[in-house]
Amino acid sequence: MVGKKKKKKLTPLGDDLVAVYGQKQWGNQWYLFTLVRHWTEVAGREISSHSMPAFFRRDVLWVYVQDSIWMQQMQLGKPELLVKINTFLKGRQTVDDLRWMLQPTDLIDVPREEYVSPPISVDPAAEREFRTMADNITDPDTREAFCNLWLRLTTKNRTE
């Protein structure tokens, strides 16, 4: 039999990521991936909410940290965190040191809140009087902006 080819069965990539990473010698990236996925378990809820593993550089794990206050806090707990990380990695990757860097702003998930203006409550007679005075402003957009400013200021003064 000359050159008989075997038919290869298709398998989902997700089922064999370890082999793909190993084949390409991306082992460190695989360990980083698993560390990121389990960061809350490894570092604890409080630390993990303010940090995230970033990358390996040789045997040093660089960790993104939310701000300098948390950097200092994590530096104090560095020996304990190193033990937890190495225990999690089970010797497949050894971390000899941890380094911190501020988290890039494009990785920060800032909740977007729509501004809802407070309800306006002014005396209707005072509003009519002010609008009559504002009729001297010829540009309608400027006039309306001026009236809205007056309404907000009047409402703010009433609530204080």
pLDDT in tens, 51-74: 999 998 888 999 999 989 999 999
Asked if 46 and 87 sit in the same domain, the reply is yes
Asked if 78 and 147 sit in the same domain, the reply is no
Asked if 103 and 146 sit in the same domain, the reply is no
Within-domain flag for 135: yes
Confidence of residue 85 (pLDDT cuts 50, 70, 90): very high
Phi, psi of 30 (to 5 degrees): -65, -45
Phi, psi of 62 (to 5 degrees): -95, 135
* Model pLDDT, residue 30: 80
Within-domain flag for 23: yes
Asked if 93 and 153 sit in the same domain, the reply is no
Which structural domain, as residue segments, surrounds residue 21?
13-107
Within-domain flag for 117: no
Asked if 40 and 93 sit in the same domain, the reply is yes
Within-domain flag for 3: no
DSSP per residue over 24-73, as a string? TT-HHHHHHHHHHHTHHHHH-HHHHTTEEEEEEETTEEEEEESSHHHHHH
Confidence of residue 33 (pLDDT cuts 50, 70, 90): confident
Residue 34 has pLDDT above 60, yes or no: yes
Average pLDDT value for residue range 40-56: 91
Residue 81 has pLDDT above 90, yes or no: yes
Residues 6 or more apart whose CB falls under 8 angstroms from that of 95 comprise 56, 59, 60, 61, 82, 85, 86, 89
pLDDT in tens, 128-151: 999 999 999 999 999 999 998 888
Asked if 101 and 130 sit in the same domain, the reply is no
> Percentage of the chain with pLDDT > 70?
74
Asked if 85 and 140 sit in the same domain, the reply is no
Q: What is the CA radius of gyration of the chain?
A: 30
Within-domain flag for 114: no
Within-domain flag for 90: yes
Pairing of β 97-102 and β 60-65? parallel
Asked if 43 and 72 sit in the same domain, the reply is yes
Asked if 85 and 35 sit in the same domain, the reply is yes
Asked if 57 and 18 sit in the same domain, the reply is yes
Asked if 94 and 62 sit in the same domain, the reply is yes
Within-domain flag for 119: no
* Model pLDDT, residue 41: 94
Count how many domains the chain has: 2
Within-domain flag for 5: no
Mean pLDDT score of the chain, rounded to an integer?
82
